[in-house]
Structure 1
Amino acid sequence: MSMEGILNCSLSPQSWLHSSLPVSEGGLGVRHAVDVAIPCFLASAYSALPLVERLLPPYLHGTDTAQQEGEQRWNPMGPAELPPLDVRGIQATWEKPQQEAAINHLKNGAPTPEDKARLLAIGQPHVGAWLNAIPSPQLGTLLPNETFRVACALRLGCDVCHPHKCPCGAEVTSKGYHGLKCKRSAGRYSRHTAANDVISRALRSAGAPAIKEPPGCSRQDGKRPDGLVLIPWARGRPMVWDFTCSDTFAPSYLPQTRIHPGAAAEKAEDAKNKKCEFLQDRFLFVPVAIETIGVWGKEVLSLIKEIGSRITIVTEEKRATAFLLQRMSIAVQRGNVAAILGSLPAGRELDEIFLL
């Protein structure tokens, strides 16, 4: 099929169904014609119904057998009450039961704890923000083909690579999840740097200059937080942030994430708050915790929305918060891909050919 050719991934029936869901529900937003045919027909029919009834005589009203058949076959879960009359002209109203049925089917049929955690996580707010970004190389929001392939495969639960052994000695399955938590994977550092760079640049756009790894804020182990706003952020105190990206599929988090979406981000926030408790008497400390699958911690989401609102005041761009969410989401996805590809065995390139 064409989608397999574009994504360069093998789609199982579950992945194919998953891809048809809207981005906000965890899919790719690629609707299937067979799924939208009846909702589209019914919405169009009810939108034109007032005009049709004005043109036809009263004894012909309500005699359209095609509309009646569409209403009978509309709900995949069996006979159900039709939507309220005032919203029957909206296609999304008819599609919602189909989407709910697909989501329940996927969740009930999830074969592994990783699949259960993934399906719970990707339905959370802003997890698919990277899919809504304009793919522009000038703006830095264009994902290379391989990056887009791996990111979509992680979202749909497809195979990413052939099973192999990581340079650290661990076995890597076809899903590639090991790379997300491998301490020897370079993607973890690039993701950390990119996310902090996005936050620092956003703060400057909001009129709040910041520095990275500020001196005088070191913990007992010598590590410093990732950034410091140089002017008062709120209540007359500067703001300090520290970024972390927890792996949704890590064995230590999986028992919680398979039941409660965002559990890894919540635990990471608590851990950061405890480690940097000594800063809270001088600064406003915000733990920036995001999961590898894209779930946002509550505190970082509040921070991003606050920064976005301040950028809107300065630039009058009402979409500043959405753009900032997209950039952070892209930084996480790029880091995920670098981490997974970093688990592949190192090889030697044919430099001697190209340097002739």
Structure 2
Amino acid sequence: MSRKERLLDLADLAGSQWGLFTSMQAGDLGFSAQQLKRLADSELITRLRHGVYRLTGAPEAPQDPVRAEWLSLEPKRLAADRLTDAVPVGVVSHRSAARLQDLGDIDADFHEFTVPKRRSTRSPEVVFHVRELRHDDWHLVAGLPVTRPLRTTVDLAAARTDGGHLASIVRDAILTEDTTRDELAAALRPYAHYYGMPIGAGDELVRNFIGQAGVPESVKALTRGDRGVDGVLFDPETNRPIALQSKAFERSRVRFYPDVLERGLADPAFVEALLTALRGSTVDTSRMSATLGNVVAHSKWLADNESVVRALLETIARSVRTESNNDEGGGGNDGDAEVPERPGVSSGDQSADQ
């Protein structure tokens, strides 16, 4: 086989592994250590670590260092073959897993892997954790096997990661929707006393962490410029975040789901955020007024709070009337713009100022 043909084979191999390859994989294609050195001197390849190279021209990525370390764990096997294992030898875990999945803002000074049995490494940048993982303990992130948010959070709690960092990791793990608040509370029970909670108080620990972590940076970013997040809350049933944005009404894909909204109305903070968002909106809200108004008017959570109902319905109606008056055609709202009446509340009461 000619040198050119071998280079093409090497390019194909690297192309299946993020542009990376190991010296052993290259050896199987007929490249000696001396030949690899000459390729590096010619800047056709770049050495990332001992025994792992990147093909010149392959796009670089922030994950390349941990990818290189992962490839070196089984340097002869192709990445695609390793990922067919029930549990790959070496799953990115702990702080490295948190960084890859954008959980919290924890630093990852080392590349951490969970392995099934004790092993050593010459790399000062690698740390191994010995543990048997199940198939559902990991998933693929950036092409690498990575412990899922629940497993990552529990591993970091067991390692006694400081509470400030773990709080943001717990919050972000819930935001991924790969795990739930209840699952985290159950899994963190053995570690509650590490963080000043009663023994076994997983629910209290998670509740404390969520309160401590506050609004995530990804949501805070929405407040920059003209986007304005008026409130961020957790749906108590699904643990999914609810963001109320005055500008969000401009987007056709924004929808109000009656069941989620109905539960949100039980929270005074949600109601206030909804009012603020509606008052701050300068766009046509008539397309969602029927759904929103109907849920508000018949909300079981607001059955004993007519003043709140009136405030919400009036705000919706005012938004619709404003948009109608600003319509270039001067026409009124269509049927969808009508706001339903609250049972037992007169139309006069509904239109009263707050």
TM range (shorter): under 0.3
Q: With CA pairs under 8 Å and 6+ residues apart, which has the higher RCO, 1 or 2?
A: 1
| TM-score, normalising length: structure 1 | 0.25
Larger Rg: 2
Instruction: From the two aligned structures, give the one with the greater strand fraction.
Output: 2
| TM-score, normalising length: structure 2 | 0.25
